[in-house]
Structure 1
Amino acid sequence: MTLIPDDQSMSSIDRASPPEPNRAGQAGFSSSTKPCTSVFVETFPMVLSAVIAFIVLLAINLRMTFSQENQPMSVPSRLYKVVIGSLLVLGTMGAHAAINLGFLSDTPISLMRQADIASIQSAVNQALDTKQDGETLDWTNDATRNRPRVHATITPSHTVKEEARTCRVAAIDLSARGQTMHLTPRFCRSGSDNWEFQRRH
């Protein structure tokens, strides 16, 4: 048997209003989910600071690595070690620590040009050749408008002689723009040969 609705039934169906959406569900969704723009704005400064910190560390490590004399290590190997070392340093820091690494961009070594590095290497050799333990040699770069002034004191110490081989530590104190850096590389030579930097393991 087929049921045929009358006109009154049809009109009542047509006039029925559609079900209202679940407003509670909509309200719950909007209150618990942050817009993508808000999340991006909150995390962008932290990510940017971490990237800047990595670039600064990489630049400093590259400058210090390639400034060392008599290193048999190949350039790709140096780059690999520098990159891995920078990543490890950043990995040991929290996100908040990485944000505060902007000061590294003003360390004395980061302000030195290639000519400055060559000049201070010559000064270190001179100090090792002519200064007794505890005596200091002063060095200053040729500062220009675009090159900040960097000052250094080089003080040999801990001289050890074994037969024809002599080893000395050079205490190097760099200062520039109100920041200082202390380095203590060790050099050795046989007889009157050139001083060779000794890698510390």
Structure 2
Amino acid sequence: MPIRDRALAHASVRTIAAAALVTVSGAASAANLGFLNNTPITYMKQRDLQALNDAAQIALNTKQDGESLDWDNKGAGNTVPINGTVTPENSFEENGVKCRKITLVANAKGQTQTWTPVACKAGDGKWKLKKQ
């Protein structure tokens, strides 16, 4: 599996589990993903994704709508500095479950990526991406 496809698939697993970034379907994995070259997601490693996950959990639990939390990958062991923000946007209830739209921003090597998934609070207290 090419490095860029492996990195994207790896990122999507962490993102789904942590209310974070991108969901990649089998069709997307098989597609030409060259447009993702040199974007922040291609530089992110497991520990970077964990830092983003941790920031997302904190922001979803503590920040008001529109209030941002800064995050970075310092201490994650990646030679590429990555930073960004996590901003909960719209809080709402759906079928008795608390959900929030969240804006995730990552910056690396002069490039910026933004994702806007919806996360809902699971029974275990963790925020997880809502399936679209």
Same fold? TM cut 0.5: yes
Aligned twin of 2:13:
66
- Kindly indicate which of the two structures has a greater share of residues assigned to strand: 2
**How far has the Cα of 1:119 moved from its partner?**
1.5
Identity within the alignment, %: 30
Contact 1:187 1:196 in 2 (8 A): yes
* 1:137 and 2:80 matched: no
- Kindly indicate which of the two structures has a greater share of residues assigned to helix: 1
Rounded to whole Å, the distance in 2 between the matches of 1:141 and 1:118 is: 9
Give structure 1 stretches of 5+ with no counterpart. 1-53, 71-78, 91-97
Aligned twin of 1:55:
2
Contact 1:188 1:198 in 2 (8 A): yes
- Write out per-residue CA displacement over residues 130-153 of structure 1, whole angstroms, 9 at most, x where no aligned residue: 111100000011168851100111
Give structure 2 stretches of 5+ with no counterpart. 19-23
**How far has the Cα of 1:56 moved from its partner?**
5.1
SS at match of 2:89: strand
2:69 partner amino acid: L
* 1:119 and 2:119 matched: no
TM-score by length of 1: 0.54
Q: How many residues matched?
A: 127
Larger Rg: 1
Contact 1:167 1:188 in 2 (8 A): yes
1:165 partner amino acid: V
1:69 partner amino acid: A
Note the aligned Cα RMSD (angstroms): 3.0
1:121 partner amino acid: N
